[in-house]
Amino acid sequence: MTTNPPAAHPLPYSMLLIDTERFSDRDDVQQSYLRRMLYGVVDRTLLAAGIDQTLRLREDRGDAIMELIDPSVPVTTLLRTLLTEVRAELRAVNRLAADSAQIRLRAVLATGFVTIDEYKGWVGDDLNQACRLLDGDPLRDALRKATDDFALCVSESVHSGIVRHNHLGIRADEFTSVTMPSKNGPLTAWLHGPVPAPTMPSAPAAPPVPTASPAPVTPSPTRPGLDFRGTNHGVVANSVEGGITFGDTGGRR
């Protein structure tokens, strides 16, 4: 007789999701190198925040890492560390790497409830939304246009609970609201740094406006008959009726 495993319950976590840009564009050797660099950057960053292996759970996604962090870890501490340490780690790694081995990361920090089921799988709508933020075009575009190698956004829950209160080392005015499209509707998130302006295609040059050519002046045909200059008091069918005044003489002829 088999018994069902005990029901799993959703528990509160901080969720950190970090993804590698252009991972699939590299060959196998380069991908292996990038994975080692990704693990090293994340591990050293979390240790700098005081988060050791006993306070986190990790899921490997190949080109990405998802971390569930114990709620006893202050979100303020984690966010402050992300804002400083990740960029410093990336500078240290990339300055010694060839162009083909440069690593650039985008990250999402969110909070919410996650259930870890009997198969060690992670289940939760809050986690699903964090994944959609990570894959959203605004965050991808922010990393493509960033002057450094890191782009970070936080969920609405992290912004409302932490960022907007201007805790030490966390400036609310450095975060900008963005909307992430998703198959379940738009999601609000907060991007660290300004939102890059969209690249607008240049407008085609307007075609020149054609100018109308003046109509040719057709000279009046020369008609036989009387040629005079003055006041005509009646010319009908090549005959003159009435008097004709020539020039300014005022004479009548």
pLDDT in tens, 165-184: 999 999 999 999 999 888 88
pLDDT in tens, 202-226: 555 556 666 666 666 555 555 555 4
> Rounded distance, CA 17 to CA 114, Å?
14
pLDDT in tens, 107-127: 999 999 999 999 999 999 999
The structure tokens listed for 235 are: 């010319």
> Rounded distance, CA 107 to CA 235, Å?
97
pTM flag (> 0.95): no
Helix axes 75-94, 28-48, angle to 10 degrees: 140
Average pLDDT over residues 33-56: 96
Strand partners, 230: 246
The residue ranges of every structural domain in the chain are: 11-192
**Whole-number pLDDT of residue 221:** 55
Q: Is the pLDDT of residue 253 over 50?
A: no
Domain 11-192 classified CATH 3.30.70.1230? yes
Average pLDDT over residues 236-241: 52
**Whole-number pLDDT of residue 195:** 77
Chain centroid to CA 131: how far? Answer: 17
**Whole-number pLDDT of residue 181:** 85
